[in-house]
């Protein structure tokens, strides 16, 4: 089994979490993280990052944007229909 | 005793067929169903100021192409693809800004390849949402995404924020799945480091 250091382990994280890392490297990475509190902590923050960003950027549709979308589509779809031969 | 059972909402595909046949109410129902999701995607891919244009462009394209929807995929997938392309187009036609080095946000290692930080320091980004004011975090999250190089940003937004599959993102961006994973990985390292700095810890 190839020994893994923290730096080389970090490079493998995405493939590991997506399940596409070869079995030998998966075993080596799991072995390293199990014995390395720093890597365990790093992996936790690496995995938490998407959720934190997802929650922080989950904006709601502003009412004024919804109103202008409705007006825009009403005008454009009407024009679209009028331009088509009946 | 008679009870009225509320009618089930028509499926996307039924609404799409009605809208394609000229039923405006069906098209409006599609818009109501998806406008919030498309707006959120547009904000993440572009910006608050560009998102309303992306939103309008998306539904105009959906309207214009309804008759070409063949049902080979879910209607939601088809619509989302149009929205993704509209957002990417806006982003790519914008004047390119000089790339900013984000190396300062990458994890640091000693000469033996070991993490420099302590476990507590390395984990602190996980708690950024507990430690930071919500509005401050929201504005900083947008800033962090905006700082990412465009190629990383696209992959990160679609894969990690919109939670699309790697295969879908690869198809949408016209790149290999391995390249998606590589870009998302780099973006995630940078954003993670950015969160660490926000709570006062070097990545």
- The interface predicted TM-score of the complex, written ipTM, equals 0.89
The partner residue sitting opposite B43, judged by closest CB among A20, A41, A59, is A59
User: pLDDT (tens digit, 9 = 90+) per residue, B159-172?
Assistant: 999 999 999 899 88
A28 contacts A1 by C-beta, under 8 angstroms: yes
> Which residues in chain B touch residue A54, judged by CB atoms under 8 angstroms apart?
160-161, 163
pTM, 2 dp: 0.88
Q: Tokens 């399940």, residue?
A: A19
Residue B33 pLDDT: 97
Tokens of B37: 């999701």
Q: Which among A11, A36, A52 is the top mutation candidate for probing chain B, defined by the most B β-carbons within 10 Å of its own β-carbon?
A: A52
Measure the CA–CA gap between A79 and A7, rounded to whole angstroms: 59
User: pLDDT (tens digit, 9 = 90+) per residue, A25-72?
Assistant: 999 999 999 999 999 999 999 999 999 999 999 999 999 999 999 999
Answer whether residue B139 shows pLDDT above 90: yes
**Inter-CA distances, B113 with A7, A10, A86, Å:** 5, 10, 72
Q: Which residue has the higher pLDDT, B91 or B118?
A: B118
pLDDT-based confidence at residue A83 (cuts at 50, 70, 90): confident
């Amino acid at each position: 089994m190839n020994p893994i250091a923290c730096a080389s382990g970090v490079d493998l994280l995405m493939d590991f979490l997506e399940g596409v890392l070869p079995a030998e490297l998966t075993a080596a990475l799991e072995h390293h993280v199990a014995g390395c509190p720093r890597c365990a902590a790093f992996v936790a923050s690496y995995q938490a990052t998407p959720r934190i960003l997802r929650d922080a950027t989950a904006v709601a549709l502003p009412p004024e944007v919804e109103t202008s979308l409705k007006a825009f589509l009403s005008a454009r779809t009407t024009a679209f229909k009028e331009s088509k031969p009946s | 005793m008679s009870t009225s059972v509320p009618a089930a909402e028509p499926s996307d595909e039924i609404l799409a067929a009605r809208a394609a046949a000229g039923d405006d109410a069906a098209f409006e129902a599609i818009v109501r169903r998806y406008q919030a999701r498309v707006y959120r995607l547009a904000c993440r891919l572009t910006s608050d100021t560009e998102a309303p244009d992306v939103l309008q462009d998306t539904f105009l394209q959906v309207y214009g192409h309804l008759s070409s929807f063949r049902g080979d995929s879910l209607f939601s997938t088809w619509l989302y693809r149009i929205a993704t392309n509209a957002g990417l187009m806006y982003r790519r036609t914008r004047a390119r800004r000089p790339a900013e080095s984000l190396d300062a946000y990458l994890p640091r290692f000693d000469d033996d390849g070991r993490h420099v930080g302590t476990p507590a320091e390395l984990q602190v980004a996980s708690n950024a949402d507990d430690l930071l004011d919500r509005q401050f975090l929201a504005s900083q999250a947008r800033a962090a995404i905006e700082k990412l190089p465009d190629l990383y940003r696209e992959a990160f937004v679609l894969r990690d924020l919109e939670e699309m599959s790697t295969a879908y993102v690869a198809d949408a961006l016209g790149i290999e799945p391995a390249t998606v994973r590589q870009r998302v990985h780099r973006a995630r390292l940078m954003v993670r480091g950015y969160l660490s700095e926000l709570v006062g810890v070097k990545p």
